Structure formats: structure tokens, C-alpha cells
Structure 1
């Protein structure tokens, strides 16, 4: 008779993977990140199913050896083989959430969270409830609480195009300093646009995490001589 896992146990493990990965996915979607609730749940469910398959194979192998002791030497059981493929293979999905441009790389945290929910799905599928729950709490701690505790200054690139003279540049720089924004590096050049001299100011800024970029952009854009403002992560 074929040995199978208990249906209730299978359901419990899958539900645990769905609930915990859904919470992590909600955090990513709420923060407008590339992968949201459904992506995280699907990754965790897939990983959980692989872990369940692996456990079912193990149960059947052990049962077969019990019923056929003479074959015990020819049968091997590798508990980590399938889950190892999940952990390495999930990288392609995480890579899809990473966006790279010439000044910044975005989506690394979401890629890491996808990899983490795959690991949580495996733990749930294997029935390691304590590891799953503690691992989940660690992921949530990193994604939410730690973000508020550790305030790392952010480097940003600010590009300002303006007309006028050097007085305008001094006014713009004075405003940034007044807002406690440290200017780390300055690049400055002049070009002609529509028969008009345009000054391009490229600044590398160190900003406190609590500074709202939109407020800075709005104030600079309101200056009568400013024609363009762009702010990007360094």
C-alpha cells in the first residue's frame, strides 16, 4: 500500500506558506515595489509544493526499503536535492524585479524577499513550523521595523537646468544648505538651447532619510529661472 502524507498536514503547510508570504508580498506591494502579494504567494506555494514532493518521495523510499530490505544498499535518499534546485533556480524571478539605469539599481530588496519567501515555503513544506515562523518574523523585522531604526543617509544626484547668471546658482545652493543637505560634489557646464545660454548644474547630495525629495524638487522648480529639475538615487 502506498504511503502518503496526511491531507490535513499538507493543507496546514500550504496555508502557512500562503499567509506568511502574502504578508511579505503586501509590504512590497504597499511600498509600490515590482513584485506584490500574488508573486510572493506563488513563489512560496511553488517552493512548498516542491518540499512536499520531496518529503513524499522520502516517505515512499523509506517504506519501500522496509518492505524490501534486500534493496536497501541500492537505494539512496537525498533530502536536499529538490529544495537546493528551488533555492538556486528562484534567482531568475528575483532578477526580473531588479531595474538598473546609469545612476541607480532598484529592486534588490524585493528580489531578496522573493528568495526569502521561497526558503520559507520550503521550510513550511518540510513541516519545520518553528523555523518557518521565526524566519518569517525575521523577514518582516528587516522589511519594516529595521527600516525605521537604521537611518542611513542617501546619496542622490540632482540635476538643475537654469538661465540667468551666477546669482541663481548661489541661491539654489544656499537653499539646499539651509535644508541641511550636504553637497558632496559639483559639476557645472554651459550649453546653448534655442539661442539661449543654459546652465547645467549636477550635484551629488547626501540627504537624511526623512527629507522628502518631492518638497525639494517643488521648491527648486518654482524658481523663475529654473527650467528643469531631476533628482535620482546615486
Structure 2
């Protein structure tokens, strides 16, 4: 008897990992991702598992940090996200940070090449039909308005909201390295023993307040209601 496919809606980090785990267990997966047909306000590409906020997965220290323990558990489960992150790691002290584009390209390529995975580029606008026997909705905070409204109507929940921020971009040539210095958080080394993954800029209270004022007055992205 043939195994019915699992339908996974959303090709972000969670959807990509769920697809990988199910496919490796021998279950056919149909992964529905709207990017490529319809974009979002934050994504720049149609690649799977594209990071739109921080490129850091936080601490990778499994000996003394709970997040690092989760990383280690994901490695032992042959996790797609954690293994691909290791392949595209960039210096970040004891944290696990990645090259965004290389990471997303690799995740996409691995899922496209998996024999048990079919990727369908389409927007799912409502609660999946009954004949989709097994479904995971993993669309995250950038769920399309139509699907969010359908989930709201189905669950009766009013609090479908998510807030996050993207770190401001600072140009290196604007930093006075006679005052700033390179040092990792808590002096914890990263891959290769690097202990100077971050640029640290000391600020007085007056300078800090001026920085906040300039940041607030700076160019901003548009928000979606």
C-alpha cells in the first residue's frame, strides 16, 4: 500500500526541517511555498529557509547553554538546518551564525534533490481540504493575510501577531578602530579558536542617546497592518 503524502505549508526553517525529517523517514512530502509566486514584505528571494532577521542561531555551546543543547540534539537527529548551518558558518564567537545566501541556497538544493520531496510554488489561502490526510502549517510570522484570516476563523484566536527587529547596518569604514576593538562575547572562541568575532564600540551615555536618536530618525522599512 502506498503511503499518503504529508502536505507541509511554508518553506521557512520549520517547514524545511519538517520536510527533511519526514522525507528521510520514507514518507513522501509535498512542500507548498508561495514565494516564487507571491512574495512577502521581508523576504528578498524565493529560496527555502531564507533568514530575514538575525543570521545567528545563538549559542552553540552544548556544555553550558540550553540553546547549544538543542543544537546538539538537532545534529544527532541529522537535522537539515543545523548541518547546513555548519557548512555555511561565519565567525561569531561561540554563537552559530551563517552566510544567509549560501545557507538558504544549500537548504533549497538539498530539498529539491530529495527523491521523496515535491516542492509546489503556490499560495495556500485557506485551511487545507479534508483529502489532505496529514498537514503541517508552518508559515510563521509572514503568513499571508488570507491564510492568517482562515486560521483566525478556524481557531477563534485574536492574537495572531509577531514582532521582531532587524539589526541596523553599520558600515565598517565609519567605525574608528582607534576607539573600537575586536572581541567575542565572554571571550569564548568560535571555530578555529577565533576570539575576536565582534567589533565592540564603547559609548558614553551621551553618545548612546545620540545613537538612539539617530537610529529612530533613520530610514525605516514600511510596516504591514
TM-score, structure 2 normalization: 0.27
- More helix, by proportion: 1
Which of structures 1 and 2 has the larger relative contact order (alpha carbons within 8 angstroms, sep 6+)? Answer: 2
Q: TM-score, normalised by structure 1?
A: 0.26
Higher strand share: 1
Larger C-alpha radius of gyration, 1 or 2? 1
